[in-house]
Amino acid sequence: MRATGVLRILVALFTIATTWLFASTYFSHTGMKSINVKKWLRSHIEPKQTPITQNKCSNRRLCPEHTFAFRIVSGAANVVGPSICFDGNVLMSNVKNNVGRGLNVALVNGTTGQLIKIDSFDMYSGDVNNLLNFMKAADQGTLVLVASYDDPATKLNDEARKLFTDLGSSHASDLAFRDNWIFLGGKGLKHKSPFEQYLKNNEKTNKYDGWPEVLEMEGCVPKKIE
């Protein structure tokens, strides 16, 4: 009699336990489901958080409204071409397949930011007159962006150097064989451009055997108000 009593209690406990287990599993399951539905609704119906937008030209700093963002990178030795980005558009790069050894130059309307023209000029074996003719298109208010690749200077003459100096360059007069140079200047600029970097080709300090380290410059250039 006693043994059956104990057995009954055990059976009852077992039933309660399995019921509880089943119920807890079931309810926690549906509970999970309802959370998932909420999540699903949230991700599909509620507006997404504002995405992190990239600054123009991947600049670290967001450029103010009255300026154009730009980024200029020089060539790396004679291996990787330079790149010029202006107002969010890559104007010249290896990928665009429109860069070359020498000087890579982009002319941009300083008021509207519209591209006027681009070209690259071989300064080792090319004709400097091609560069001089190209630069004639730079009217008052034109922005001039320049990136060197390999050799920017062998064929550079006084006339071409003066032209860049007049655009605000501090180093155009010193440019020599395989120096690195990046520059943003403007036709009609009355002072030196703050947007210029220059590295001399120097065996002792060169990063690569025959070439100095790559130069990179980003910034915000004020729009010209007419």
Ligand X SMILES: *[C@@H]1O[C@H](CO)[C@@H](O)[C@H](O)[C@H]1NC(C)=O
Between 190 and 204, name the residue whose CB sits nearer to ligand X.
190
The closest of 105, 103, 75, 101 to 91, measured between CA atoms, is 105
CA 171 to CA 187: how far, in whole Å? Answer: 16
Between 91 and 153, name the residue whose CB sits nearer to ligand X.
91
Between 139 and 159, name the residue whose CB sits nearer to ligand X.
139
CA–CA distance from 197 to each of 78, 82, 103, 141 (Å)?
Answer: 18, 14, 14, 22
**Whole-number minimum distance, CB 162 to ligand X, in Å?**
20
Question: C-alpha 53: how far from its chain's center?
Answer: 13
Which span sits near ligand X by CB under 6 A: 91-99, 134-142, 170-178, 203-211? Answer: 134-142
Q: Does 222 bind ligand X (CB under 6 A)?
A: no
Give the strands of the sheet with 89-92, arranged side by side.
Answer: 89-92, 83-86, 67-73, 216-222
CA–CA distance from 114 to each of 20, 59, 94, 223 (Å)?
Answer: 73, 19, 21, 12
**Whole-number minimum distance, CB 113 to ligand X, in Å?**
9
Q: Does 165 bind ligand X (CB under 6 A)?
A: no
Cβ partners under 8 Å of residue 122, min gap 6: 100, 101, 102, 155
Number of Cβ atoms within 10 Å of the Cβ of 152: 28
Q: Does 188 bind ligand X (CB under 6 A)?
A: no
**Whole-number minimum distance, CB 115 to ligand X, in Å?**
10
Q: Does 141 bind ligand X (CB under 6 A)?
A: yes
Q: Does 139 bind ligand X (CB under 6 A)?
A: yes
Token output for 192:
């030196």
Phi, psi of 159 (to 5 degrees): -60, -45
Binding mask 78-117 for ligand X (x = CB under 6 A): -------------------------------xxxx-----
Between 59 and 112, name the residue whose CB sits nearer to ligand X.
112
**Whole-number minimum distance, CB 78 to ligand X, in Å?**
33
**Whole-number minimum distance, CB 144 to ligand X, in Å?**
11
Which residue ranges make up the site for ligand X (CB under 6 A)?
Answer: 109-112, 139, 141-142
